[in-house]
Structure 1
Amino acid sequence: MPSLPVARTLDPREAPALRWGILGTGWNAEKFTTALRRHTTQQVYAVGSRTQASADRFAAAVGAPVAHGTYEALVADPHVDIIYVATPHNFHHEHALLAIAAGKHVLIEKPIAVSESEAQDIANRAAAAGVFCMEAFWTLFLPKYDVLTQLMADMAIDAVLADMGEYFTLDHRIFDPALAGGPIFDMATYPLSIALWALGDPAQISANGAPAPNGINGQLAITMESTRGGLAALHTSIVGETPTTATFAGLDATIVVDGPFYQPGGFTYTTRAGARLRYDEERSAHEGGLHFQAAAVARHIAAGETSSPVRPLADSIRLLRVMDEIRAQVGIPLP
């Protein structure tokens, strides 16, 4: 291969503009709205929170013209085209159904729910309502991952190695069991999703866990064998920093994705014959990458489509099925 393929990602600024309603006013909502304002023509139209004061503060901060003091008022707003659900994990199901029942398209923060049954229920309700519905797994919409998609179409991926570890102080909400704390829903979403994306359906899963200082699960080590015979070795942690890299290996080539593998950045493609090709793009965090998924969603909705081939709901449901198995093996309760 003399050169790498070119990313086929369309210009986010050319996507049809939707009026977004932001359900929730936390960290995810702030990063998402910042990305939309900087890199797209999408309109952050309305904000919904549990109190009017919170909605007013966030709307002023992000330049939204409308602030609703309840989530019900937000989804009922006739001027809102799509709801972005940015509340904690264990509220995704409730708030997604609230939006769908109001006839709104919905983009739901990852993971889409906290169990396979909740994820399936969301998919069923969205299908019955005829609205667009997707999990906000933004990584696969980055230009880097489109290049990887093209490369991996010609590779038989046999192994995936990936980790995602970050240190958090004990006062962070990720240690709160009432808010689905621990690494499984926050951190493990990324390595599990890319392993399933690269290897396909799992045939066997094995997981081990270690506690955090406050007693909740703090680390996970996961091996996963696919029905095609590939193997993934994954690690995730909320108690220590890890390289957060990813490797996709086949018989004839290996791809090593720089850390953090889930954000914009680079990777190296090396063949068994010794050829080495380098992909580089400007490194950035969430504010430099979340807009690609939003633009893709806008294009699908403008075309009258209700799902994305990049992150279909079947993949989101499969992820939760795997998470259910990991929780059962390690003994992680639902909140």
Structure 2
Amino acid sequence: MTDVVRWGILGTGKIARAFANALKDTPNAVLAGVGSRGLESAKTFTDEFGGTAYGSYEALAQAGDIDLVYVGTPHPAHVDNVRLALNAGKGVLCEKPFTMNRSEAEELVQLARSKRLFLMEAMWTRFMPALAEVRRVVDSGEIGKVTQVIADLGFKADFGHEHRVFNPVLGGGALLDLGIYPLSIAVALLGPVASVAAQAEIGPTGVDEQTGFVLRHVNGGMSVCSCSLRARLPSELTIAGEKGHVRMNTMFHRAQTVTVARADGISRTVPTPFLGNGYVHEAIEAQRCWQAGLIESPGMTHEDTLALMGVMDEVRRQIGVHYEADNQQGEKP
């Protein structure tokens, strides 16, 4: 049993349930505990998924039989929740977006580094088989030098304005909820961002309901990304080069096939199935890093997270979206 990693889940919402399901398919993982703001909610969760129920986040963080904590609470709570777990000596996998802004992210990264504790943003797309296949094709030179990525992600959010995705108090908006996916994968494929230009449509609650942004990358090339809470977008990603392109097919963040189309007319589609519900791959990586004594993953480094948060800060500045966390951190979006 020495190889078993004991997980604690902080939060009991939809994303926490998805992660709990993923742990069932993750080798050497066990759900040891679940923390909620009330014991009843935690017990309901553990009745279904197992583990010990804790009636507060503090109690979960202090539990002695937990190695890694998965933070699956609403965006604005991440900074306090991750800080709590790190201060209790736990490694942390925190759901995206990592925090509300770069300033909060810097605080958490500094804390993890000072305590030599593992900390990673739960950007599951970075560890999916589809992205690995895209990178393999690109590295092979089959499509030539890559110069552009086009990616979108969106759906029609048929919710009331009080729902999390429209509520600025809960970090609502298309950018933080959806836009981070195309942004993250564009950076993973083309490298750091040199500049960004953004446009958005702002809804009645003050959050962005549709946002588009063009990135120019430091090492050359550009990416065109969009996200929407108003439209069912194709949600595909294409990376193009001089000799052809590679497409991560429908719902690129969970793509099960990748299509390579060459300029000479030859094309093929490659199966890229994933384990469980897809979150399994990030859980495996977090366990690997934690067991190896690493404080970050080479597939989703601290600098990656800080850079992404910085780009989103700039996008929000350009489109005029402001959150309470910006005031608390002295930001000026």
Same topology, TM > 0.5: yes
Does structure 1 retain, via aligned residues, the 8 Å contact 2:133–2:258? no
Rounded Cα–Cα distance in structure 1 between residues aligned with 2:288 and 2:172: 34
> Match of 1:109?
95
Q: CA RMSD in A?
A: 1.8
> Match of 2:220?
229
Does structure 2 retain, via aligned residues, the 8 Å contact 1:157–1:198? no
The equivalent position to 2:233 in structure 1, one of 226, 236, 242, is 242
The equivalent position to 1:307 in structure 2, one of 292, 296, 301, is 296
> Match of 1:189?
180
Rounded Cα–Cα distance in structure 1 between residues aligned with 2:126 and 2:86: 24
Rounded Cα–Cα distance in structure 1 between residues aligned with 2:31 and 2:286: 14
* Secondary structure class of the residue paired with 1:324: helix
Alignment size in residue pairs: 319
> Match of 1:135?
121
Query: Does 1:38 find its partner at 2:29?
Result: no
Query: Does 1:26 find its partner at 2:13?
Result: yes
Normalization by structure 2: what TM-score? Answer: 0.92
The one-letter code of the counterpart of 1:331 is G
The one-letter code of the counterpart of 1:41 is N
Query: Does 1:48 find its partner at 2:35?
Result: yes
Rounded Cα–Cα distance in structure 2 between residues aligned with 1:16 and 1:162: 38
Give, in angstroms, the shift of residue 282 of structure 1. Answer: 4.0
**148-157 vs 196-205, which deviates more?**
148-157
**Structure 2 unmatched runs, 5+:** 325-333
* Secondary structure class of the residue paired with 2:37: coil
Does structure 1 retain, via aligned residues, the 8 Å contact 2:119–2:295? yes
> Match of 1:126?
112
Does structure 1 retain, via aligned residues, the 8 Å contact 2:198–2:318? yes
Normalization by structure 1: what TM-score? Answer: 0.91
> Match of 1:3?
none
* Secondary structure class of the residue paired with 1:262: helix
Rounded Cα–Cα distance in structure 1 between residues aligned with 2:139 and 2:107: 32
* Secondary structure class of the residue paired with 1:232: strand
* Secondary structure class of the residue paired with 2:25: helix
**Structure 1 unmatched runs, 5+:** 1-14
What do residues 47-99 of structure 1 show as CA deviations (whole Å, max 9, x unaligned)? 001111111111112122x1111111101001100110000111111111111
Query: Does 1:334 find its partner at 2:323?
Result: yes
TM alignment of 1:173-184, pairs within 5 A: 173-184=164-175
> Match of 1:8?
none
> Match of 2:49?
62
Rounded Cα–Cα distance in structure 2 between residues aligned with 1:311 and 1:301: 14
Does structure 2 retain, via aligned residues, the 8 Å contact 1:17–1:298? no
Identity rate, percent:
33
Rounded Cα–Cα distance in structure 2 between residues aligned with 1:36 and 1:74: 18
Rounded Cα–Cα distance in structure 1 between residues aligned with 2:36 and 2:111: 23
Runs of 4+ in 1 over 3 A off after TM superposition: 38-41, 281-284
